[in-house]
Amino acid sequence: MKKLFFVVVLFLCVFKFTIGTSQELPLIKISENNRYLITKAGTPFFWLGDTAWELFHRLNLQESEKYIQNRADKGFTVIQAVILAELDGLTIPNANRDLPLIDQNPATPNEAYLEHVDKVIEFANKNGIYIGLLPTWGDKFNKKWGVGPEIFTPENAAVFAAFLAKRYQSKNVIWILGGDRNPEENEDLEITKAMARAIRKIVGKKQLITYHPQGGSSSADFFGDEDWLDFTIFQSGHSDTYTQNYKQTQKEYSKEKIRPVIDGEPCYEDHPVYWKAENGWFNEFHTRRAGYWSMLAGACGHTYGNHNVWQMWRPGRDPISAARTPWQQALDYPGAYQAGYMKKLFESRPWQRLVPYQQMIEKGPNHGGGDILASIASDQSFAMLYFPFGSNAEIDLSVISGTQKRAWWFNPRIGTVIDVGIIKNNKSQVLDPPADEQEGNDWVFVIDDYSKYKKLLSDE
């Protein structure tokens, strides 16, 4: 046990865990190469998001603080939440008995409602978390499903967005427009553009803006030519346990106009497959596979979600799509911890240098949910490969610089490592992950140019 602990400390020693303590958050902007997010000081920012869509609407301040503290302790950096919420957000008041708008008019926000939002954002910021702030859920401009009603025009959308931008321009928020809805008519497009331009006019480049589409879509599908779209969010959704979300990441990563890309809504832990309980449930393996797949395909971060948490379900509330666990209990489902382990792994290296590199895999599964993904640092100093089923694979070691490599198996389920030791072979090698091949026996293989790894340690 002592030896394993030493190996874990050695492997992850360059990671500085500061989330969860009161601190002043830096501004976030886009990196010079447009591939990832950075702080004002130039430090890479790892987006580890959580979907708490009903946070402002359904929780009181004490409950909100409990939720935020839980996510801060696990290493989350972004919470995605909505002001005009999905679940009857215009007609059912919040926990303080306040509605967000007077007479459902976007031009007349309710100050009492927003004072509660203020306090929640302030507490999140003090605990190291940015709020991915959605002004509204999508049914308020394109009902399609849900309850709506549609209340926005381009004119009042601009008024509402400007009001919020003025209120939160000094807070650590990242603006997320849309809300699980694709624009289908020209007015839908103009409503979103009006919001974006109103926000940009007030906040300038101090705060980022993006768009959250519905499942199977990307913000760049609709707003790819818009200068206000700072980074791309897509939603891989909740349909199939074999959804290869990395393919959407690859598609966005390879577009001519380069933007950072994030899967902003992958399959949620404890969500029924295809929204029906008889199909079974997405579990922690499905959620963490989506994270590693997307990261190694070129994403600059990832969003986790729990089906019970986004809607803040508890007994007495009508469950959406068969929610079954009180949100307070669901906060500590395994996938939430494992999302933090993922972030910790990537931050143990200069992850922003990673470039997708499937050519490193000479032989291995690439279908059926067991697809192995590989990414290599641009300076060839290290590589990471994700094995969802613990399958064997033959990889090319020659692409890693140096005559000696040091390798590790990282266990994404519990956040520990097995030290493989020094590898002198500079050619192909068959990798055999620990334990038997099966779904959920997933591992991350990390291999370093040993000379550069030692320098990384000494620099720290």
Band of the pLDDT at 165, cuts 50, 70, 90? very high
What percentage of the chain carries pLDDT values higher than 90?
90
Q: What is the pLDDT of residue 21?
A: 43
296 CB-contact burial (10 Å; exposed 0-12 / middle 13-18 / buried 19+) = buried
Round to whole Å and give the CA distance between 66 and 454: 40
Band of the pLDDT at 457, cuts 50, 70, 90? low
Q: What is the pLDDT of residue 4?
A: 44
CA distance to 28, 47, 175, 451, per residue, from 294 (Å): 21, 12, 22, 29
Average pLDDT over residues 436-451: 96
pLDDT at residue 292 is higher than 50: yes
Q: What is the pLDDT of residue 453?
A: 79
Q: What is the pLDDT of residue 257?
A: 97
* Tokens matching residue 156: 């009042």
Average pLDDT over residues 364-383: 95
CA distance to 47, 231, 251, per residue, from 262 (Å): 8, 8, 12
Q: What is the pLDDT of residue 23?
A: 55
- H/E element, 136: strand 130-136
Q: Which of 80, 88, 102 is nearest to 57 (CA)?
A: 88
Round to whole Å and give the CA distance between 237 and 264: 9
pLDDT at residue 195 is higher than 90: yes
401: CB partners within 8 A, 6+ apart: 379, 380, 381, 449, 452
What percentage of the chain carries pLDDT values higher than 70?
93
CB 58 within 8 A of CB 64: no
376 CB-contact burial (10 Å; exposed 0-12 / middle 13-18 / buried 19+) = buried
- H/E element, 410: strand 405-411
pLDDT at residue 337 is higher than 60: yes
170 CB-contact burial (10 Å; exposed 0-12 / middle 13-18 / buried 19+) = exposed
State whether residue 375 is helix, strand or coil. Answer: strand
Tallying the residues shown for the chain, one arrives at: 460
The predicted-structure confidence for 250-285, as pLDDT tens digits, reads as follows: 999 999 999 999 999 999 999 999 999 999 999 999
Type of residue at 207? Q
CA distance to 240, 360, 372, 388, 429, per residue, from 368 (Å): 12, 20, 11, 10, 23
Q: What is the pLDDT of residue 22?
A: 43
Round to whole Å and give the CA distance between 195 and 192: 5
Q: What is the pTM of this model?
A: 0.94
Residue 257, CA atoms < 13 Å, CB-side half-sphere: 12
Average pLDDT over residues 134-144: 97
User: Could you give all domains of the chain from N- to C-terminal order, each with its CATH number?
Assistant: 24-347 (3.20.20.80), 353-459 (2.60.40)
- Mean pLDDT rounded to a whole number for the chain: 94
Band of the pLDDT at 427, cuts 50, 70, 90? confident
Q: What is the pLDDT of residue 19?
A: 38
CB 294 within 8 A of CB 267: no
360: CB partners within 8 A, 6+ apart: 374, 376, 383, 385, 395, 396, 399
